[in-house]
Amino acid sequence: MNEITYLKQGGDLSSPYGATFAVTYPCNLRELTQTDCEQVRQWRNTCLETLRTPYLLTEQMQTDFYHTTVCNRNANSRWWAIEANGELIGMTGLTDIEWENGKAEVSLILNPKEIRKGYGEAALNLLLEQAFAFMGLQNIYGECYECNPAVSFWRKMIPTYTTTLPQRKLWRGKYYDSLYFSFMRGEVC
């Protein structure tokens, strides 16, 4: 497993390293390519119950997403590939960025063969670092439907704030509540 060590601000101020400490993650974020997008399309098409947009995407639709959104410097979203051992294992992003309000929504998806190995937690921490330490955002929020087992993942990540929103997702004829959560700058990163 590859391990990448970052120096972060904070920690034990009496340490010989001053106000920095080392964090090691099993994966890293890098730029997202069109080839990555096509791979992620195939993964996301297998878990439509987790998505706000629960329809199958074609290769052409995903190519359009890459050109009109990922490659657009003025888009109100930012995207990263998640890589481990030199292989693409997922995609993460910040969507609906509101610069004036300092907030954005989290997006996170892994290769279904790579779940429950700690990559999701690591990728989330790296994403929050991008949001808070590099982009100046204050509040990263998200929503996870109760028909998605990932609700347990988000609760485990200890967001600053959580609440339940009623009847947010229709799946196979039944409405499901959702977990709404937000991470605040200064409390997690």
Ligand X SMILES: CC(C)(COP(=O)(O)OP(=O)(O)OC[C@H]1O[C@@H](n2cnc3c(N)ncnc32)[C@H](O)[C@@H]1OP(=O)(O)O)[C@@H](O)C(=O)NCCC(=O)NCCS
Interface residues with ligand X (CB under 6 A) are: 47, 50, 108-110, 115-121, 144, 148-150, 152-153, 156
Amino acid (one-letter) located at 82: I
Least distance in Å: CB of 108 to ligand X?
5
> Which residue number is nearest to ligand X in terms of Cβ?
120
CB-count burial class (<10 Å; 0-12, 13-18, 19+) for 110: buried
Nearest distance in Å: CB 151, ligand X: 8
Q: How far is the CB of 69 from ligand X (least distance, A)?
A: 18
Cα distance between residue 104 and residue 1, in whole Å: 31
State which residue, 20 or 171, has the beta carbon closest to ligand X: 171
Name residue 7's beta-bridge partners: 22
Where helices occur in 5-118 by DSSP H, the ranges are 34-44, 59-65
The nearer residue to ligand X, 97 or 122, going by C-beta atoms, is: 122
As a whole number of angstroms, the distance between CA 16 and CA 13 comes to: 8
Which of residues 73 and 174 has its CB atom nearest to ligand X in the complex?
174
Nearer to ligand X, 16 or 166 (CB): 166
